[in-house]
Structure 1
Amino acid sequence: MNILISNDDGVLAPGIQALAQALQPLGRIVIVAPETERSGYSSALTLDRPLRPVEIQPNIWAVNGTPADCVYLSMNGLFDFEFDLVVSGINNGANLGDDILYSGTVGAAFEGRLMKHPAIAVSLVGHHMAKEDYTLAAQWVYEFIQNGLPQLPERHILNINIPDVTQLKGALVTYQGLRSQAKPISSHVDPRGRQVYWIGLSGEAVAEPHKDESGLQSDFYAINHDYVSITPIQMDATNYQVLKQLDDALKNTVL
Protein backbone atom coordinates (compact mmCIF):
# COMPACT_ATOMS: atom_id res chain seq x y z
CA MET A 1 0.00 0.00 0.00
CA ASN A 2 0.95 3.63 -0.50
CA ILE A 3 -0.13 5.35 2.71
CA LEU A 4 -0.29 9.11 3.18
CA ILE A 5 0.01 10.38 6.76
CA SER A 6 -0.88 13.91 7.82
CA ASN A 7 -1.94 15.71 10.99
CA ASP A 8 -2.68 19.12 12.51
CA ASP A 9 0.00 19.07 15.24
CA GLY A 10 2.91 19.62 12.87
CA VAL A 11 5.26 17.45 10.85
CA LEU A 12 7.59 16.74 13.79
CA ALA A 13 4.89 15.98 16.38
CA PRO A 14 5.42 12.73 18.31
CA GLY A 15 2.05 11.32 17.26
CA ILE A 16 2.74 11.44 13.53
CA GLN A 17 6.25 10.09 13.96
CA ALA A 18 5.02 7.13 16.01
CA LEU A 19 2.28 6.44 13.46
CA ALA A 20 4.68 6.47 10.52
CA GLN A 21 7.04 4.09 12.31
CA ALA A 22 4.26 1.65 13.21
CA LEU A 23 2.80 1.53 9.68
CA GLN A 24 6.12 0.87 7.91
CA PRO A 25 5.43 -2.87 7.43
CA LEU A 26 2.25 -2.06 5.46
CA GLY A 27 4.01 -0.44 2.50
CA ARG A 28 5.33 2.93 1.38
CA ILE A 29 4.71 5.58 4.04
CA VAL A 30 4.79 9.26 3.12
CA ILE A 31 4.30 12.07 5.64
CA VAL A 32 2.94 15.38 4.34
CA ALA A 33 2.02 17.64 7.23
CA PRO A 34 1.95 21.31 8.28
CA GLU A 35 5.33 22.79 9.15
CA THR A 36 3.84 24.04 12.46
CA GLU A 37 0.74 23.29 14.51
CA ARG A 38 -2.52 23.98 12.68
CA SER A 39 -5.12 22.78 15.18
CA GLY A 40 -8.68 23.98 14.69
CA TYR A 41 -8.36 24.55 10.93
CA SER A 42 -11.01 21.96 10.03
CA SER A 43 -11.09 21.49 6.22
CA ALA A 44 -9.73 24.96 5.40
CA LEU A 45 -7.74 25.33 2.17
CA THR A 46 -5.22 28.12 1.58
CA LEU A 47 -6.34 30.20 -1.40
CA ASP A 48 -4.64 33.57 -0.83
CA ARG A 49 -0.98 32.55 -1.17
CA PRO A 50 1.15 29.81 -2.74
CA LEU A 51 1.98 26.64 -0.85
CA ARG A 52 5.54 25.45 -0.45
CA PRO A 53 6.08 21.73 0.19
CA VAL A 54 9.63 21.01 1.40
CA GLU A 55 11.05 17.49 1.75
CA ILE A 56 12.88 17.76 5.07
CA GLN A 57 13.77 14.06 5.17
CA PRO A 58 13.15 11.19 2.74
CA ASN A 59 9.35 10.79 2.41
CA ILE A 60 8.70 13.52 5.00
CA TRP A 61 7.32 16.78 3.65
CA ALA A 62 6.55 20.00 5.54
CA VAL A 63 3.96 22.39 4.07
CA ASN A 64 3.30 26.03 4.95
CA GLY A 65 -0.42 25.40 5.01
CA THR A 66 -3.32 23.61 6.67
CA PRO A 67 -3.85 19.87 7.20
CA ALA A 68 -6.35 19.80 4.33
CA ASP A 69 -3.82 21.60 2.11
CA CYS A 70 -1.33 18.82 2.77
CA VAL A 71 -3.67 16.04 1.67
CA TYR A 72 -5.05 18.06 -1.24
CA LEU A 73 -1.57 18.65 -2.64
CA SER A 74 -0.58 15.02 -2.14
CA MET A 75 -3.59 13.69 -3.99
CA ASN A 76 -3.61 16.21 -6.82
CA GLY A 77 -0.18 16.22 -8.41
CA LEU A 78 2.54 16.56 -5.78
CA PHE A 79 3.57 12.93 -6.38
CA ASP A 80 3.74 10.77 -9.49
CA PHE A 81 1.89 7.89 -7.82
CA GLU A 82 -1.47 7.46 -6.11
CA PHE A 83 -2.19 6.72 -2.49
CA ASP A 84 -4.34 3.84 -1.28
CA LEU A 85 -5.08 5.19 2.18
CA VAL A 86 -4.96 8.44 4.15
CA VAL A 87 -4.35 8.32 7.90
CA SER A 88 -4.49 11.56 9.88
CA GLY A 89 -2.96 11.70 13.36
CA ILE A 90 -2.13 10.69 15.92
CA ASN A 91 -3.69 13.83 17.34
CA ASN A 92 -2.66 15.16 20.74
CA GLY A 93 -6.07 15.14 22.46
CA ALA A 94 -9.66 14.17 21.80
CA ASN A 95 -11.78 14.66 18.71
CA LEU A 96 -15.13 13.67 20.18
CA GLY A 97 -18.66 14.91 19.59
CA ASP A 98 -18.81 18.46 18.26
CA ASP A 99 -14.99 18.61 18.07
CA ILE A 100 -15.11 17.22 14.53
CA LEU A 101 -16.54 20.54 13.28
CA TYR A 102 -13.22 22.26 14.06
CA SER A 103 -10.69 19.45 13.96
CA GLY A 104 -7.79 19.74 11.52
CA THR A 105 -7.16 16.04 12.11
CA VAL A 106 -10.63 15.20 10.82
CA GLY A 107 -10.31 17.81 8.07
CA ALA A 108 -7.20 16.13 6.71
CA ALA A 109 -8.94 12.75 6.72
CA PHE A 110 -11.95 14.19 4.89
CA GLU A 111 -9.64 15.30 2.08
CA GLY A 112 -8.90 11.60 1.63
CA ARG A 113 -12.56 10.65 1.47
CA LEU A 114 -12.30 9.48 -2.18
CA MET A 115 -9.71 6.78 -1.43
CA LYS A 116 -10.56 3.17 -2.23
CA HIS A 117 -10.14 2.53 1.49
CA PRO A 118 -11.86 4.74 4.09
CA ALA A 119 -9.62 7.54 5.33
CA ILE A 120 -8.93 7.48 9.07
CA ALA A 121 -8.61 10.24 11.66
CA VAL A 122 -6.89 9.07 14.86
CA SER A 123 -6.68 10.88 18.20
CA LEU A 124 -5.16 9.94 21.56
CA VAL A 125 -7.31 11.05 24.49
CA GLY A 126 -5.49 11.87 27.70
CA HIS A 127 -3.32 14.37 29.50
CA HIS A 128 0.47 14.80 29.40
CA MET A 129 0.94 11.95 26.92
CA ALA A 130 4.46 10.54 26.66
CA LYS A 131 6.18 9.22 23.54
CA GLU A 132 5.46 5.67 24.68
CA ASP A 133 1.72 6.41 24.75
CA TYR A 134 1.74 7.36 21.07
CA THR A 135 3.73 4.23 20.27
CA LEU A 136 1.09 2.02 21.87
CA ALA A 137 -1.73 3.87 20.09
CA ALA A 138 0.12 3.62 16.77
CA GLN A 139 0.48 -0.12 17.24
CA TRP A 140 -3.29 -0.38 17.68
CA VAL A 141 -3.79 1.53 14.41
CA TYR A 142 -1.34 -0.77 12.62
CA GLU A 143 -3.22 -3.87 13.77
CA PHE A 144 -6.58 -2.29 12.88
CA ILE A 145 -5.44 -1.63 9.30
CA GLN A 146 -3.60 -4.94 8.94
CA ASN A 147 -6.70 -6.89 9.97
CA GLY A 148 -8.64 -5.36 7.08
CA LEU A 149 -10.47 -2.07 6.97
CA PRO A 150 -14.28 -2.19 6.95
CA GLN A 151 -16.23 -1.28 3.83
CA LEU A 152 -17.95 2.09 4.04
CA PRO A 153 -20.14 4.02 1.61
CA GLU A 154 -18.42 6.63 -0.54
CA ARG A 155 -17.39 9.92 1.09
CA HIS A 156 -17.29 8.41 4.56
CA ILE A 157 -14.30 8.31 6.92
CA LEU A 158 -13.59 6.75 10.30
CA ASN A 159 -13.02 8.98 13.32
CA ILE A 160 -11.05 6.96 15.87
CA ASN A 161 -10.32 8.04 19.44
CA ILE A 162 -8.00 5.94 21.62
CA PRO A 163 -8.02 6.42 25.40
CA ASP A 164 -4.62 6.86 27.01
CA VAL A 165 -4.91 3.95 29.44
CA THR A 166 -2.62 1.08 30.31
CA GLN A 167 -5.20 -1.57 29.39
CA LEU A 168 -7.79 -1.14 26.65
CA LYS A 169 -11.05 -3.05 27.07
CA GLY A 170 -11.50 -3.32 23.31
CA ALA A 171 -13.14 -1.17 20.65
CA LEU A 172 -16.72 0.03 20.17
CA VAL A 173 -18.47 1.33 17.08
CA THR A 174 -20.01 4.56 18.31
CA TYR A 175 -22.12 7.51 17.25
CA GLN A 176 -21.02 11.13 17.54
CA GLY A 177 -21.86 12.46 20.99
CA LEU A 178 -22.75 15.98 22.08
CA ARG A 179 -20.90 18.65 23.98
CA SER A 180 -22.52 21.39 26.02
CA GLN A 181 -21.85 25.03 25.15
CA ALA A 182 -18.19 26.03 25.17
CA LYS A 183 -16.70 27.73 28.20
CA PRO A 184 -16.69 31.57 28.15
CA ILE A 185 -13.93 33.44 26.33
CA SER A 186 -11.11 34.84 28.43
CA SER A 187 -10.50 38.59 28.16
CA HIS A 188 -7.11 40.22 28.79
CA VAL A 189 -5.25 43.44 28.09
CA ASP A 190 -1.97 43.10 26.20
CA PRO A 191 1.21 45.07 27.12
CA ARG A 192 0.16 47.85 24.74
CA GLY A 193 -3.22 48.30 26.39
CA ARG A 194 -5.28 46.55 23.72
CA GLN A 195 -8.14 44.21 24.57
CA VAL A 196 -7.47 40.61 23.49
CA TYR A 197 -9.40 37.38 23.90
CA TRP A 198 -8.68 33.67 24.20
CA ILE A 199 -11.19 31.15 22.87
CA GLY A 200 -12.74 29.23 25.78
CA LEU A 201 -12.31 25.53 26.48
CA SER A 202 -14.65 22.97 24.93
CA GLY A 203 -17.90 22.23 26.72
CA GLU A 204 -18.40 19.08 28.75
CA ALA A 205 -19.99 15.98 27.27
CA VAL A 206 -23.77 16.02 27.47
CA ALA A 207 -25.07 13.25 29.74
CA GLU A 208 -26.44 10.37 27.67
CA PRO A 209 -28.30 7.92 29.90
CA HIS A 210 -29.52 5.73 27.04
CA LYS A 211 -28.14 4.12 23.93
CA ASP A 212 -29.28 5.40 20.55
CA GLU A 213 -31.88 3.59 18.41
CA SER A 214 -29.29 1.18 17.06
CA GLY A 215 -28.31 0.10 20.56
CA LEU A 216 -24.86 1.67 20.21
CA GLN A 217 -23.13 4.05 22.61
CA SER A 218 -21.57 7.47 22.01
CA ASP A 219 -17.90 8.20 21.43
CA PHE A 220 -17.75 9.83 24.88
CA TYR A 221 -19.11 6.64 26.48
CA ALA A 222 -16.42 4.52 24.83
CA ILE A 223 -13.57 6.76 25.94
CA ASN A 224 -14.92 7.10 29.48
CA HIS A 225 -15.06 3.30 29.78
CA ASP A 226 -11.57 2.62 28.35
CA TYR A 227 -12.70 1.50 24.88
CA VAL A 228 -11.42 2.72 21.54
CA SER A 229 -14.17 4.70 19.82
CA ILE A 230 -14.72 4.13 16.07
CA THR A 231 -17.26 6.48 14.50
CA PRO A 232 -18.18 6.53 10.79
CA ILE A 233 -18.78 10.12 9.67
CA GLN A 234 -19.79 11.50 6.28
CA MET A 235 -19.48 14.55 4.07
CA ASP A 236 -23.20 14.70 3.29
CA ALA A 237 -24.62 16.77 6.14
CA THR A 238 -28.18 16.78 4.79
CA ASN A 239 -30.80 15.91 7.41
CA TYR A 240 -32.96 13.53 5.39
CA GLN A 241 -35.47 13.09 8.22
CA VAL A 242 -36.24 16.81 8.09
CA LEU A 243 -35.87 17.21 4.30
CA LYS A 244 -39.38 16.11 3.22
CA GLN A 245 -41.02 17.79 6.20
CA LEU A 246 -39.33 21.09 5.39
CA ASP A 247 -40.18 20.77 1.69
CA ASP A 248 -43.85 20.26 2.50
CA ALA A 249 -43.86 23.17 4.93
CA LEU A 250 -42.37 25.59 2.38
CA LYS A 251 -44.18 24.49 -0.77
CA ASN A 252 -46.72 27.28 -0.55
CA THR A 253 -44.24 29.87 0.66
CA VAL A 254 -42.68 32.35 -1.72
CA LEU A 255 -39.01 32.54 -0.83
Structure 2
Amino acid sequence: MNILIANDDGVFAPGIQALAQALKPLGRVVIVAPESERSGFSSALTLDRPLRPIEVSPDIWAVNGTPADCVYLAMNGLFNFEFDLVVSGINSGANLGDDVLYSGTVGAAFEGRLMRQAAIAVSLAGSNVRSYNSPKDYAVAAKWVHDFIAKGIPILPERHILNINIPDVAQLKGAQVTYQGRRIQSKPITSQVDPRGRQVYWIGLAGEAVTDPKKNELNIQSDFFAVANGFVSITPIHMDATNYSILNHLQQQFLQT
Protein backbone atom coordinates (compact mmCIF):
# COMPACT_ATOMS: atom_id res chain seq x y z
CA MET A 1 0.00 0.00 0.00
CA ASN A 2 1.23 3.50 -0.89
CA ILE A 3 0.33 6.01 1.82
CA LEU A 4 0.51 9.78 1.36
CA ILE A 5 0.88 11.86 4.52
CA ALA A 6 0.31 15.62 4.65
CA ASN A 7 -0.41 18.16 7.39
CA ASP A 8 -0.72 21.87 8.12
CA ASP A 9 1.93 22.09 10.86
CA GLY A 10 4.87 21.76 8.47
CA VAL A 11 7.02 18.98 7.09
CA PHE A 12 9.21 18.69 10.21
CA ALA A 13 6.39 18.84 12.78
CA PRO A 14 6.58 16.07 15.40
CA GLY A 15 3.07 14.83 14.62
CA ILE A 16 3.75 14.05 10.98
CA GLN A 17 7.10 12.44 11.75
CA ALA A 18 5.56 10.17 14.39
CA LEU A 19 2.75 9.23 12.02
CA ALA A 20 5.11 8.36 9.18
CA GLN A 21 7.20 6.16 11.46
CA ALA A 22 4.15 4.33 12.79
CA LEU A 23 2.64 3.65 9.34
CA LYS A 24 5.79 2.31 7.66
CA PRO A 25 4.93 -1.33 8.48
CA LEU A 26 1.77 -0.92 6.34
CA GLY A 27 3.58 0.00 3.11
CA ARG A 28 5.48 2.80 1.43
CA VAL A 29 4.96 6.08 3.26
CA VAL A 30 5.57 9.39 1.48
CA ILE A 31 5.38 12.76 3.23
CA VAL A 32 4.40 15.79 1.15
CA ALA A 33 3.80 18.73 3.47
CA PRO A 34 4.15 22.51 3.68
CA GLU A 35 7.67 23.82 4.29
CA SER A 36 6.33 25.76 7.29
CA GLU A 37 3.12 25.97 9.31
CA ARG A 38 -0.01 26.63 7.25
CA SER A 39 -2.77 26.30 9.86
CA GLY A 40 -6.18 27.73 9.03
CA PHE A 41 -5.81 27.42 5.25
CA SER A 42 -8.74 24.99 4.89
CA SER A 43 -8.86 23.66 1.28
CA ALA A 44 -7.12 26.68 -0.28
CA LEU A 45 -5.04 26.08 -3.42
CA THR A 46 -2.22 28.38 -4.55
CA LEU A 47 -3.12 29.85 -7.95
CA ASP A 48 -1.09 33.07 -8.08
CA ARG A 49 2.45 31.65 -8.08
CA PRO A 50 4.31 28.42 -8.93
CA LEU A 51 4.83 25.69 -6.38
CA ARG A 52 8.26 24.28 -5.64
CA PRO A 53 8.37 20.73 -4.19
CA ILE A 54 11.77 19.87 -2.71
CA GLU A 55 12.76 16.39 -1.57
CA VAL A 56 14.50 17.13 1.72
CA SER A 57 15.21 13.44 2.35
CA PRO A 58 14.04 10.15 0.78
CA ASP A 59 10.22 10.18 0.49
CA ILE A 60 9.94 13.46 2.41
CA TRP A 61 8.95 16.49 0.33
CA ALA A 62 8.54 20.10 1.41
CA VAL A 63 6.27 22.41 -0.62
CA ASN A 64 5.99 26.20 -0.56
CA GLY A 65 2.22 26.01 -0.49
CA THR A 66 -0.87 25.00 1.41
CA PRO A 67 -1.83 21.58 2.82
CA ALA A 68 -4.27 21.05 -0.06
CA ASP A 69 -1.53 22.03 -2.55
CA CYS A 70 0.62 19.24 -1.19
CA VAL A 71 -2.00 16.54 -1.71
CA TYR A 72 -3.01 17.95 -5.11
CA LEU A 73 0.60 17.84 -6.36
CA ALA A 74 1.23 14.37 -4.97
CA MET A 75 -1.89 12.95 -6.63
CA ASN A 76 -1.57 14.76 -9.95
CA GLY A 77 1.86 14.19 -11.40
CA LEU A 78 4.56 14.68 -8.78
CA PHE A 79 5.07 10.91 -8.65
CA ASN A 80 4.93 8.14 -11.22
CA PHE A 81 2.77 5.92 -9.00
CA GLU A 82 -0.62 6.24 -7.33
CA PHE A 83 -1.50 6.37 -3.67
CA ASP A 84 -3.98 4.09 -1.96
CA LEU A 85 -4.62 6.24 1.10
CA VAL A 86 -4.22 9.85 2.27
CA VAL A 87 -3.68 10.55 5.96
CA SER A 88 -3.45 14.16 7.12
CA GLY A 89 -1.88 14.89 10.51
CA ILE A 90 -1.17 14.35 13.25
CA ASN A 91 -2.30 17.90 13.93
CA SER A 92 -1.19 19.66 17.10
CA GLY A 93 -4.54 20.47 18.66
CA ALA A 94 -8.09 19.34 18.05
CA ASN A 95 -10.19 19.88 14.92
CA LEU A 96 -13.70 19.47 16.27
CA GLY A 97 -17.11 20.78 15.29
CA ASP A 98 -16.94 24.10 13.42
CA ASP A 99 -13.13 23.86 13.30
CA VAL A 100 -13.36 21.72 10.17
CA LEU A 101 -14.37 24.81 8.15
CA TYR A 102 -10.94 26.35 8.68
CA SER A 103 -8.66 23.40 9.31
CA GLY A 104 -5.77 22.84 6.91
CA THR A 105 -5.52 19.31 8.29
CA VAL A 106 -9.10 18.57 7.22
CA GLY A 107 -8.55 20.49 3.96
CA ALA A 108 -5.64 18.23 3.01
CA ALA A 109 -7.72 15.14 3.72
CA PHE A 110 -10.58 16.50 1.60
CA GLU A 111 -8.16 16.92 -1.30
CA GLY A 112 -7.68 13.15 -1.11
CA ARG A 113 -11.41 12.38 -0.96
CA LEU A 114 -11.40 10.56 -4.32
CA MET A 115 -8.93 7.91 -3.15
CA ARG A 116 -9.68 4.20 -3.26
CA GLN A 117 -10.08 4.31 0.51
CA ALA A 118 -11.50 7.08 2.66
CA ALA A 119 -9.00 9.84 3.37
CA ILE A 120 -8.34 10.50 7.06
CA ALA A 121 -7.69 13.68 9.04
CA VAL A 122 -6.10 13.07 12.45
CA SER A 123 -5.69 15.57 15.27
CA LEU A 124 -4.35 15.24 18.81
CA ALA A 125 -6.35 17.27 21.29
CA GLY A 126 -3.73 16.71 23.98
CA SER A 127 -3.75 17.40 27.66
CA ASN A 128 -5.73 20.12 29.38
CA VAL A 129 -2.95 20.42 31.93
CA ARG A 130 -0.21 21.50 29.53
CA SER A 131 -0.30 23.41 26.26
CA TYR A 132 1.86 21.08 24.20
CA ASN A 133 2.02 17.44 23.13
CA SER A 134 5.19 15.49 23.89
CA PRO A 135 6.91 13.11 21.44
CA LYS A 136 5.51 10.24 23.52
CA ASP A 137 1.97 11.62 23.08
CA TYR A 138 2.39 11.69 19.31
CA ALA A 139 3.88 8.18 19.30
CA VAL A 140 0.88 6.78 21.19
CA ALA A 141 -1.55 8.62 18.90
CA ALA A 142 0.30 7.42 15.79
CA LYS A 143 0.17 3.83 17.06
CA TRP A 144 -3.60 4.19 17.43
CA VAL A 145 -3.84 5.39 13.81
CA HIS A 146 -1.70 2.46 12.64
CA ASP A 147 -3.96 -0.03 14.40
CA PHE A 148 -7.09 1.66 13.07
CA ILE A 149 -5.86 1.43 9.46
CA ALA A 150 -4.50 -2.10 9.90
CA LYS A 151 -7.92 -3.35 11.01
CA GLY A 152 -9.47 -2.05 7.77
CA ILE A 153 -10.87 1.41 7.17
CA PRO A 154 -14.69 1.52 7.18
CA ILE A 155 -16.24 1.83 3.73
CA LEU A 156 -17.73 5.28 3.13
CA PRO A 157 -19.66 6.82 0.24
CA GLU A 158 -17.73 8.84 -2.33
CA ARG A 159 -16.37 12.27 -1.37
CA HIS A 160 -16.38 11.45 2.34
CA ILE A 161 -13.47 11.54 4.78
CA LEU A 162 -13.02 10.53 8.40
CA ASN A 163 -12.21 13.32 10.84
CA ILE A 164 -10.48 11.71 13.82
CA ASN A 165 -9.64 13.49 17.06
CA ILE A 166 -7.57 11.81 19.77
CA PRO A 167 -7.90 13.05 23.38
CA ASP A 168 -5.23 13.12 26.08
CA VAL A 169 -3.52 9.77 25.48
CA ALA A 170 -2.95 9.33 29.22
CA GLN A 171 -6.73 9.03 29.68
CA LEU A 172 -7.67 7.22 26.48
CA LYS A 173 -10.72 5.02 27.05
CA GLY A 174 -11.58 3.86 23.53
CA ALA A 175 -13.23 5.25 20.42
CA GLN A 176 -16.71 6.42 19.44
CA VAL A 177 -18.39 7.22 16.15
CA THR A 178 -19.60 10.80 16.54
CA TYR A 179 -21.42 13.60 14.79
CA GLN A 180 -19.89 17.03 14.17
CA GLY A 181 -20.54 19.23 17.19
CA ARG A 182 -20.60 23.00 17.41
CA ARG A 183 -19.05 25.92 19.22
CA ILE A 184 -20.58 28.95 20.88
CA GLN A 185 -19.98 32.24 19.04
CA SER A 186 -16.33 33.16 18.55
CA LYS A 187 -14.63 35.66 20.83
CA PRO A 188 -14.52 39.31 19.62
CA ILE A 189 -11.56 40.60 17.64
CA THR A 190 -8.80 42.42 19.49
CA SER A 191 -7.84 45.87 18.24
CA GLN A 192 -4.43 47.44 18.83
CA VAL A 193 -2.29 50.28 17.51
CA ASP A 194 1.11 49.26 16.13
CA PRO A 195 4.33 51.28 16.81
CA ARG A 196 3.70 53.35 13.66
CA GLY A 197 0.24 54.39 14.79
CA ARG A 198 -1.71 52.08 12.47
CA GLN A 199 -4.78 50.21 13.64
CA VAL A 200 -4.33 46.41 13.56
CA TYR A 201 -6.64 43.56 14.51
CA TRP A 202 -6.25 40.03 15.84
CA ILE A 203 -8.88 37.44 14.94
CA GLY A 204 -10.75 36.39 18.07
CA LEU A 205 -10.32 33.01 19.73
CA ALA A 206 -12.69 30.17 18.85
CA GLY A 207 -15.88 30.00 20.87
CA GLU A 208 -16.30 27.54 23.72
CA ALA A 209 -17.20 23.98 22.79
CA VAL A 210 -20.65 22.60 23.50
CA THR A 211 -19.85 19.43 25.43
CA ASP A 212 -23.23 18.57 26.92
CA PRO A 213 -24.32 14.91 26.58
CA LYS A 214 -26.98 15.66 23.95
CA LYS A 215 -27.36 12.84 21.43
CA ASN A 216 -28.75 13.06 17.91
CA GLU A 217 -31.69 11.08 16.55
CA LEU A 218 -29.40 8.06 16.07
CA ASN A 219 -28.38 8.12 19.75
CA ILE A 220 -24.84 9.23 18.88
CA GLN A 221 -22.79 11.76 20.85
CA SER A 222 -20.93 14.78 19.44
CA ASP A 223 -17.20 14.82 18.73
CA PHE A 224 -16.70 17.42 21.47
CA PHE A 225 -18.41 15.22 24.06
CA ALA A 226 -16.43 12.11 23.09
CA VAL A 227 -13.03 13.82 23.31
CA ALA A 228 -13.93 15.62 26.55
CA ASN A 229 -14.70 12.22 28.07
CA GLY A 230 -11.54 10.43 26.95
CA PHE A 231 -12.71 8.81 23.69
CA VAL A 232 -11.29 9.12 20.20
CA SER A 233 -13.97 10.73 18.02
CA ILE A 234 -14.46 9.33 14.52
CA THR A 235 -16.69 11.58 12.44
CA PRO A 236 -17.61 10.97 8.78
CA ILE A 237 -17.82 14.30 6.94
CA HIS A 238 -18.29 15.13 3.27
CA MET A 239 -18.03 17.93 0.72
CA ASP A 240 -21.73 18.23 -0.11
CA ALA A 241 -23.02 20.94 2.24
CA THR A 242 -26.55 20.94 0.78
CA ASN A 243 -29.27 20.86 3.42
CA TYR A 244 -31.50 18.27 1.77
CA SER A 245 -34.05 18.33 4.60
CA ILE A 246 -35.26 21.81 3.60
CA LEU A 247 -34.93 21.59 -0.20
CA ASN A 248 -38.58 20.86 -0.85
CA HIS A 249 -39.76 23.47 1.65
CA LEU A 250 -37.50 26.12 0.11
CA GLN A 251 -38.65 25.21 -3.38
CA GLN A 252 -42.28 25.54 -2.36
CA GLN A 253 -41.57 29.00 -0.92
CA PHE A 254 -40.10 30.14 -4.21
CA LEU A 255 -43.03 28.73 -6.18
CA GLN A 256 -45.40 30.79 -4.03
CA THR A 257 -43.65 34.09 -4.76
- TM category (shorter chain) comes to over 0.9
Match of 1:36 in 2: 36
Structure 2 counterpart of 1:220, from 224, 228, 233: 224
Match of residue 45 from structure 2? 45
- Deviating beyond 2 angstroms after TM superposition, the runs of 4 or more aligned structure 1 residues are 206-210
Amino acid at match of 1:40: G
CA distance in 1, matches of 2:256, 2:214: 39
Alignment equivalent of 2:156, drawn from 152, 155, 161 = 152
Residue 247 of structure 2: which of 239, 243, 247 is its match?
Answer: 243
Q: Deviation string for 1:124-168 (max 9, x for gaps)? A: 002311111101100000000001100000000000000023131
Cα deviation, 1:95-126, whole Å, max 9, x if unaligned, reads 00000000000000000000010000000002
Pairwise mapping of residues 126-205 of structure 1 onto structure 2 (< 5 A)? 126=126, 127-205=131-209
Q: 1:27 to 1:209 in 2, by over 3 A?
A: closer
* Equivalent in the alignment of 1:116: 116
Q: Give 3-state SS (helix, strand or coil) of 1:154's partner.
A: coil
Aligned-residue Cα RMSD (Å) equals 0.9
1:59-83 Cα deviation digits (max 9, x unpaired):
0000000000000011111100000
| Counterpart Cα distance in 2 of 1:75 and 1:193 | 47
Give the structure 1 partner of residue 82 of structure 2: 82
Does 141-150 or 179-188 show the bigger shift? Answer: 179-188
Match of 2:23 in 1: 23
The one-character-per-residue Cα deviations of 1:194-229 (angstroms, maximum 9, x if unpaired) are 111111111001253421100000000100100000
The reply on whether 1:65 has 2:65 as its aligned counterpart is yes
SS of residue matched to 2:169: coil
SS in 1 for 2:171: coil
SS, match of residue 29 in structure 2: strand
1:233 and 2:232 aligned? no
SS of residue matched to 1:18: helix
Q: Distance in 2 between matches of 1:176 and 1:35?
A: 30
For residues 22-53 of structure 1, the C-alpha deviation after alignment (integer angstroms, 9 at most, x for no partner) is 00000000000000100000000000000000
The residue type paired with residue 28 of structure 1 is R
- Find the aligned partners of 2:134 and 2:198 in 1 and give their Cα distance: 37
Following the alignment from structure 2 to structure 1, what is the Cα–Cα distance between the partners of residues 61 and 72? 13
Q: How far apart are the structure 1 equivalents of 2:256 and 2:250?
A: 11
Counterpart of 2:170 in 1: which secondary structure?
A: coil
Identity %: 74
Distance 1:207 1:36 in 2: 32
Letter in 2 for 1:134: Y
Give the Cα–Cα distance (whole angstroms) in 2 for the partners of residues 207 and 162 of structure 1.
16
Q: Tell which deviates more after alignment, 134-143 or 194-203.
A: 194-203
Alpha-carbon distance in 2 for matches of 1:91, 1:186: 26
Q: TM-score w.r.t. structure 2 length? A: 0.97
